[in-house]
């Protein structure tokens, strides 16, 4: 199984005048367009690995539909001549309340992998999240753009010494914060991967952060690439500790006391309160992009209760399902569209993350396509803010959004055809 090869011929298919124009610039006018173009470029098994959810994909579809059940309440006759999308994340200024959520194996879509992505994020002036399951190491990504705003995402392994070493490496490499993912003691079953035989990383790719050479610790490539199970995630989950508890959050805080810790994967008010009690500096409302527990709420619907429980004590971020820049901004959320961002912020998030769209952009044009996608999103966000009568992110309030007067949906669920 070989990784897809992207060439300049693949990416430069059009001309305007005497200048070659990348195909994505001619065909992508919103974030979703990158997925449509990506489907033409990637192998079927890889595309479906990126695009699919778990089991019947109910939650994957809900992540999108739920945003459509919240509506914006635009205000008029307000000065919006000086629109600013800038905000602050734990004291670091960013150009918009959007960040790249930690997600692994970028090199499956671009030869430079996560190094390309962090460069695009630095150019856009936003935060980059590096997954523990990255195809470029903690140190390689840090050196790609010295000084870039970057966070490291941690899974708690059965091998606690290796877990401790990963935390230490991230801090020493200058990462500005740590996500700890708490919804993945097991991975959701990805039927698309099993049907396609996607049960190992295609060579020569590896999860580089596990090539750490710790004396006495076994190599983990024989675990995550064992091919024992029919789907890759069911192989890689064998590395994770399934007996974790809130004391482990306190342990990570002790291991990295000088960087903020965000607990990723919170979906209930009860767990949000427990995360605060355990010392989390922030939480991320996330259902893993519909790739974990199928049948749980969409993140945007889980957000209001979480925000009430947190009561402003720590920041809230959100991901899963965002496609347009107009979703709420009251909470910190992972978002794909500008309207989604506005809706999320209004409901309690302070920032939103994007995940899947990043892979689709990488696959059709590498770093430059990611940069182009982020520019589209920021332009859309600026326009949406202006039309809503909002000049600054700090002006976004809960009264910006409302549920539809007819609250009961008559939509039927159909499994995605990818």
Annotated catalytic residues are 288
On whether the CB atoms of residues 308 and 273 are closer than 8 A, the answer is: no
Distance CA 112, CA 137 (A): 11
State the Cα angle at 92 between 279 and 336, rounded to 5°.
Answer: 90
Task: Provide the 3-class DSSP secondary structure of residue 299.
Answer: helix
**Encoded tokens for 144:** 């790609």
Reported for 111-116, long-range contacts at CB under 8 A and 24+ positions apart, including other chains, are 111/6, 111/366, 112/136, 112/366, 112/367, 114/140, 114/141, 114/144, 115/140, 115/141, 115/144, 116/362, 116/366, 116/367, 116/370
Residue 19 makes CB contacts below 8 A (sequence gap 6+) with none
Residues 6+ apart with CB under 8 A from 273: 309, 310
Q: Are 353 and 319 in contact (CB under 8 A)?
A: yes
| Residue from 226, 189, 192 nearest 207 by CA | 226
Residues 399, 340 contacting (CB under 8 angstroms): no
- What are the b/e assignments for 264-297, b being 16+ CB within 10 Å? bbbbebebbbbbbebbbbbbbbbbbbbbbbbebb
């Amino acid at each position: 199984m070989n990784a897809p090869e992207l060439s300049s011929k693949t990416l430069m298919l059009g001309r305007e005048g005497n200048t070659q124009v990348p195909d994505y610039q001619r065909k992508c006018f919103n974030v979703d367009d990158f997925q449509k173009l990506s489907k033409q470029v990637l192998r079927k098994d890889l595309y479906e690995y990126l695009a699919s959810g778990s089991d019947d994909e109910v939650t994957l579809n809900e992540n999108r539909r739920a945003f459509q059940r919240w509506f914006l309440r635009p205000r008029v006759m307000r000065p919006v001549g000086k629109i600013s999308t800038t905000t602050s994340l734990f004291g670091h200024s960013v150009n918009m309340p959007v960040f790249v959520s930690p997600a692994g194996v970028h090199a499956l879509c671009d030869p430079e992998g996560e190094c390309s992505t962090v460069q695009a994020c630095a150019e856009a002036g936003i935060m980059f999240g590096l997954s523990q399951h990255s195809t470029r190491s903690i140190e390689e990504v840090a050196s790609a753009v010295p000084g870039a705003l970057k966070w490291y995402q941690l899974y708690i392994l059965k091998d606690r010494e290796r877990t401790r070493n990963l935390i230490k490496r991230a801090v020493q490499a200058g990462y500005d914060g740590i996500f700890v993912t708490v919804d993945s003691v097991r991975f959701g079953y990805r039927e698309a991967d099993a049907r396609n035989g996607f049960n190992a990383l295609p060579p020569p790719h590896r999860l580089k952060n596990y090539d750490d050479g710790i004396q006495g610790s076994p190599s983990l490539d024989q675990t995550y690439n064992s091919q024992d199970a029919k789907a890759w995630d069911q192989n890689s989950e064998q590395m994770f500790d399934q007996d974790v508890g809130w004391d482990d959050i306190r342990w990570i805080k002790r291991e990295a006391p000088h960087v903020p810790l965000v607990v990723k994967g919170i979906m209930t008010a009860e767990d949000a309160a427990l995360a605060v009690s355990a010392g989390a500096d922030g939480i991320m409302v996330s259902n893993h992009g519909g790739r974990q527990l199928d049948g749980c709420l969409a993140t945007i619907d889980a957000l209001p209760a979480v925000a009430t429980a947190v009561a402003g004590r720590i920041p809230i971020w959100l991901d899963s399902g965002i496609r347009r820049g107009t979703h709420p901004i009251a909470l910190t959320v992972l978002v794909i569209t500008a309207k989604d961002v506005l809706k999320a912020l209004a409901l309690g998030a302070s920032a939103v993350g994007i995940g899947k769209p990043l892979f689709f952009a990488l696959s059709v044009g590498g770093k430059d396509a990611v940069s182009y996608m982020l520019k589209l999103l920021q332009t859309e966000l600026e326009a949406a803010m202006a039309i809503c009568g909002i000049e600054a992110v700090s002006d976004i309030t809960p009264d910006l959004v409302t549920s539809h007067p007819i609250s009961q949906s008559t939509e039927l669920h159909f499994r995605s055809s990818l």
